[in-house]
Structure 1
């Protein structure tokens, strides 16, 4: 019977030498290749972890900055509202001052107009008195010219005074 694999001492020796050389080669290559590759992978793993940590910190900082930004926006809104409120108050104050000045000016104009009306009325009364005096003088001239006696003259003066009224001479 023939052997299937031809297992003899040479084959076993060759197999052991090959296994031993593969072990040495695996150990040598492991030392030369696997350790640097593992180190490279570990470095990459560490770099990724650092980047993730950095990204997490950046997100936290961004959230803080966002919160500060929103707070500043709220403060700016409040400040804008305060400025608008102050502007409204100043506008109302200015409006009130303008209205008060206009009312004062209107009151001055009305007072001046009333004074002018009063002066015109006095002038008219004075003109009327002057006309009455002129009429009385003309009547007196006619009376004197007609040589009327004093009783008729007194009667005419009394009649004229009654027609003119006592208030005209008193004012």
Structure 2
């Protein structure tokens, strides 16, 4: 993992999160995993599309993230959708717990990746839900950006 092209290898991405939510702030968190989960992540088999982060016993956990069982682990395997503890600084945890207790705020995982040291990290977004009108605006903006790039390409 020394070369620069694999420096930030994304394993799973939640593409729907930026469409469904306004991302107000982003955080990088470590994640507590067992050995078979790391092996499964390295093989690129994970899904965070339906997952969310929340508070349990004063700590932040990632709920409903699907990391499938590693077939070669046999009896040492893990549960696919177990809650996984997120590793953040105390001040960040308190800030996020305070934010989700306010109306309409949630913590959405944006991606799971391996950093330059080879550690599994989760990009979290402090988010507020969008309504239908906001989603239409997002679609319009995306379409306009696509059309604009086509027009600029034709002129060159």
The reply to whether TM is greater than 0.5 is no
TM-score, normalising length: structure 1: 0.18
**Relative contact order, CA 8 A, sep 6+: which one is greater?**
2
Q: State which structure, 1 or 2, has the greater radius of gyration over its C-alpha atoms.
A: 1
TM-score, normalising length: structure 2: 0.20
Give the number of the structure whose residues are more often helix, by fraction.
1
Give the number of the structure whose residues are more often strand, by fraction.
2
